Structure 1
């Protein structure tokens, strides 16, 4: 297995780098660099810029409007986007629902929904987790009962990321309460403005509004909003989560964060010397860099395998586990480097004209606390270890 990039792949990297330099608005990259929440307008604008180039739906095949990239080309694109401080592509329609429809949807769903995802007409959010059904997703209680040509949905979803911007939601609903947990679930599409849908914001510890609760009270949707077969939604859920877990690894974002930690260690002084010269801190930075390099090579090996076989396998759980642990360690190192000045949240960073810490670290506390979630969502790391022991170690 040759993990070196080919000349064609190196040429592709240069093409991506040039396009980002010419087309990524500075005010958007500055907002990403600052670490605050992006507005929906910024996300829509960036999606439109990529869509004009045909680079938005990075894992879609050409016949459905994607670039038809190999897994390695997708990796290169994401790596260069991180280096340029481009926003993450909002994944719910593009990286989650899109691949699901391409594999499991009918022709009408593909021809109607996929173009509206690409041009930004529809913004989707994910209705998976529920109170009491987070990591144990199969224990979900939201019910969908068929009534003629409609589904009637009742229940609650939580931790619905960016639901405040979405006009549609894809949901896992229990459609056969008498079946085994995984066997009685269906994958159903719902309009957020349908009667009986209520969205309530969840304020995070740093004051941000990224996630929401969604309540369904006698919500009626057409039976044709079912994706795939009735009661076979768990198969779709596992397929979707495999793609999500690969993205959660965030190799490029961790490489970006590592450089920020190193830069911070050169600026901050401890006992009259740059923190970079502190042996204990330097040892932690060295260890996380070693771990990151190992994860990067593992990611490339998995990409090579996916390029040969067409889809990632259960080993993506390794990326999910290591990626989230490394990301959290990097945020912790940044927090430790700043010491007491890491504590203020945005809006508390100044006192008149006095800046408590370096200006580019104003979002440090918010980033640290927000990043604690990554080892939980997308299937907690404990669940990922169970998956690996069952599927790969056969224990």
Structure 2
């Protein structure tokens, strides 16, 4: 691939920066971590983007999106992360949205796509179950046909932001008498439907972004079925094969590296700041080299995606493994950089109110650092565990 700077991409980057400088409201809180912003901020930012014609940055023009290239989408994500913009609803933008664009009927698109553009309908994902995480095909949540409705019974777990969302896209078992992958269907469910119970899971980072979701005789119209009965597994494979170049979460890696670099000038080790300590600088330089290597790999995978190369799938798995493991190591190093203050779990803005200390030294500088380190423990699990990713690499590249 050609590593020379692309002048068109540089011009696009300047366009995004100019837009953010002009249209990012000063009163919107700047995001400092990888968690989703509060609902009000997500909705407000989505409407600002939509007014610019950027309401669907990851979609093709025929679906009402920007039609940006993979490289342009990466630039957009990087610049938004650098500016600290609120997050978008990634479940809508990157997961269920593309599914609707490719598999939904015209009536389903008319119902569900406009609210995504306008920020009126936020989504969550109902895939994982107790005993059916990495082995998703073993899911047991049932959807039994009853006239013009399905009746859903079962449980989902790790349902991110279910307590803040309006709809859920759900994998359910509609036929237990066929091969397990063949009996799965893809349903859209309004979270206000009677029979749905959402229970919070407070994770080790002190935040509430995960939930258990229970379905007790939940009646869902058959018109909410995407595709045909039994096509849920193939739709899911399509959903999970999107956006390989973004699996490393390069903006987060760059933010963590920047936080470590900035903190090195204020954190002390004896009489000197860490910026003058050889051992610290050596570790930081190694992370810098790893970050540059991943950046090059991201560009390589982006070029593969743009050319629809089948190798992008395996390379995306490699990025997922390398990027998430580096996130964990860098977030741990960031806590170490705090020195003695790293022993205090200064909470982030998403922590439960009762866990917030009233006044602690270094509270502003260290806010959320320990919480993010705990949160990053999950990066090698969600989106497909590292073990699953290594199996994909082995089967795709080495035919094992």
- Preserved CA contact (<8 Å) 1:158 1:212: yes
Alignment partner, residue 336 of structure 1? 336
Matched, 1:373 2:378: yes
- Preserved CA contact (<8 Å) 2:126 2:170: yes
Q: CA deviation at 1:350?
A: 5.9
3-state SS, counterpart of residue 198 of structure 2: strand
Q: Which runs of 5+ in 2 are unaligned?
A: 348-352
TM alignment of 1:56-95, pairs within 5 A: 56-95=55-94
- Preserved CA contact (<8 Å) 1:349 1:356: no
- 1:329/1:271 CA distance change after superposition, 3 Å: same
For residues 344 and 209 of structure 1, the distance between their equivalents in structure 2, rounded to whole angstroms, comes to: 16
Alignment partner, residue 8 of structure 1? 8
- 1:351/1:96 CA distance change after superposition, 3 Å: closer
Alignment partner, residue 17 of structure 2? 17
Q: CA deviation at 1:29?
A: 4.4
TM alignment of 1:201-240, pairs within 5 A: 201-240=200-239
- Preserved CA contact (<8 Å) 1:57 1:95: no
For residues 122 and 112 of structure 1, the distance between their equivalents in structure 2, rounded to whole angstroms, comes to: 11
Q: Which runs of 5+ in 1 are unaligned?
A: none
Q: CA deviation at 1:344?
A: 2.8
Name which of structure 1's ranges 307-316 and 295-304 shifts more when overlaid on structure 2.
Answer: 307-316
Matched, 1:144 2:149: no
TM alignment of 1:1-395, pairs within 5 A: 1-30=1-30, 32-33=31-32, 38-243=37-242, 246-309=245-308, 312-342=312-342, 343-346=344-347, 352=359, 355-357=360-362, 359-395=364-400
- 1:329/1:154 CA distance change after superposition, 3 Å: same
- Number of aligned residue pairs: 392
Q: CA deviation at 1:293?
A: 1.0
For residues 139 and 5 of structure 1, the distance between their equivalents in structure 2, rounded to whole angstroms, comes to: 47
**Given the two structures, how large is their TM-score scaled by the length of structure 1?**
0.94
3-state SS, counterpart of residue 241 of structure 2: helix
- Preserved CA contact (<8 Å) 2:56 2:66: yes
**Given the two structures, how large is their TM-score scaled by the length of structure 2?**
0.92
Alignment partner, residue 350 of structure 2? none
- Preserved CA contact (<8 Å) 2:247 2:316: no
- 1:366/1:231 CA distance change after superposition, 3 Å: same
For residues 275 and 53 of structure 2, the distance between their equivalents in structure 1, rounded to whole angstroms, comes to: 42
3-state SS, counterpart of residue 215 of structure 2: strand
1:279-318 superposed Cα distances (whole Å, 9 cap, x missing partner):
3322222222211111111110111111122885332111
3-state SS, counterpart of residue 379 of structure 2: helix
Q: CA deviation at 1:39?
A: 2.0
- 1:262/1:218 CA distance change after superposition, 3 Å: same
3-state SS, counterpart of residue 188 of structure 1: strand
Task: Give RMSD over aligned pairs.
Answer: 2.0
For residues 182 and 77 of structure 1, the distance between their equivalents in structure 2, rounded to whole angstroms, comes to: 36
Name which of structure 1's ranges 185-194 and 5-14 shifts more when overlaid on structure 2.
Answer: 5-14
- Preserved CA contact (<8 Å) 1:248 1:374: no
3-state SS, counterpart of residue 291 of structure 2: helix
For residues 167 and 52 of structure 2, the distance between their equivalents in structure 1, rounded to whole angstroms, comes to: 25
- 1:282/1:237 CA distance change after superposition, 3 Å: same
Q: CA deviation at 1:196?
A: 0.9
Name which of structure 1's ranges 53-62 and 369-378 shifts more when overlaid on structure 2.
Answer: 53-62
